[in-house]
Amino acid sequence: MNDSERNPADPARIAALEHKITRLEKINRALMSRVERSTNSIGDSYSMFVHNLTLQRHVEQQTRELQESNQRLQKALSDLQSAADQMIENEKLAALGSLVAGIAHEVNTPLGISVTAASHLEELTRTLSAHFAAGTMKKSDLAHFIGSGQEAAQIILANLARAENLIQNFKKIAVDQFSENWQTVELESCLKDIVVSLTPRLGKTKTKVSIQCPDTLRINTMPGALSQIFANLVANSLIHGFGEGQEGEIVIAAKVKKRGVVLTYADNGKGIPDKNLGKIFDPFFTTTRGKGGSGLGLHLVYNIVTRSLKGSITVRSKPGEGVKFTLFLPDCALIPDASPATAEER
């Protein structure tokens, strides 16, 4: 066998080999491309994993910070609420202190008159005793003593009765202001007692208060709450509604409505500007800051009406036309019989 037979140069065989080589190269390139794509995919997945992990940690950190901020805000809100409650209690005590000072001033007048009359009676007694001891007492001396003594005694009794009435009224109002007990009261009498307790403050002004209430109306309420409500409303009128020396008028009225009671409080003062009308019940809102206004009076009124008495309160006012507060206290009227008028109200 010659060399050409042992190493045949077969074109077909060479072509077949080249074809296989080309296929292998294509397969290799395809595998390399797949490997590259897989590598890129793994890299992208890893990058996304790292990004997601970083984002998760950031979210967790933000959540912790928000929770801590929320806790701080909750504590701040609680502290603020406690401070507001304390200020409201201080406002109540301040109102009671003002009431005490006013009543003390009012009581001082009848007591002073009583002391003067008692001193005069003592002088009459001493003079008559001296005449009697000297044996010079005449019928006219005795008559003068009897007449002057009776007059002095009447003055003493009348003024002591006035002082006793003031003190008893003060004791009742003072106790009621710090009592949360529900009681059955005659509303007209209760309102009159409240106005009498405000006499020391009203007496320094030209303001007159009138009450329009059925004399038979009895309600179940907290007298102390009513006292605080009207004491603050009157104070609001005197501070904001009436100018110095103005002859103000305040009207407190009551009527039965659907087994509840509608109480209205109206004055003929300056009125409230529209821009302030929606804010008057907000805590710490006042137009006289620095002049004695705390901004808590009407807020206290709102809380007492809506929380303690479970009622509602609205206000209407126009500048120059005074102000009118309307309170509705539900299910408090005691109606013994269903008269035609009462039935209509129901």
Q: What are the boundaries of each domain within the chain?
A: 182-346
Classified as helix, coil or strand, 280 is coil
* pLDDT score of 98: 59
Higher pLDDT, 212 or 35: 212
- Pairing mode of beta strands 312-317, 333-334: unpaired
Is the CATH number 3.30.565.10 carried by domain 182-346? yes
Q: Return d(Cα 138, Cα 148) in angstroms, integer.
A: 16
Measured distance between the N- and C-terminal CA atoms of the chain, rounded to whole angstroms: 136
Model pTM score:
0.54
Higher pLDDT, 223 or 209: 209
Higher pLDDT, 325 or 336: 325
Q: Taking a C-beta distance cutoff of 8 angstroms, is the pair 265, 212 a contact?
A: no
Residue 212 structure tokens: 């329009």
Classified as helix, coil or strand, 337 is coil
Q: Taking a C-beta distance cutoff of 8 angstroms, is the pair 237, 247 a contact?
A: no
* pLDDT score of 261: 94
Whether residue 44 has pLDDT greater than 70? no
From the list 174, 153, 297, 281, the residue with the least C-alpha distance to 227 is 174
The residue type at 160: L
Mean pLDDT taken over the chain = 78
For residue 219, the cross-strand partners are 185, 333
From the list 285, 284, 326, 332, the residue with the least C-alpha distance to 308 is 332
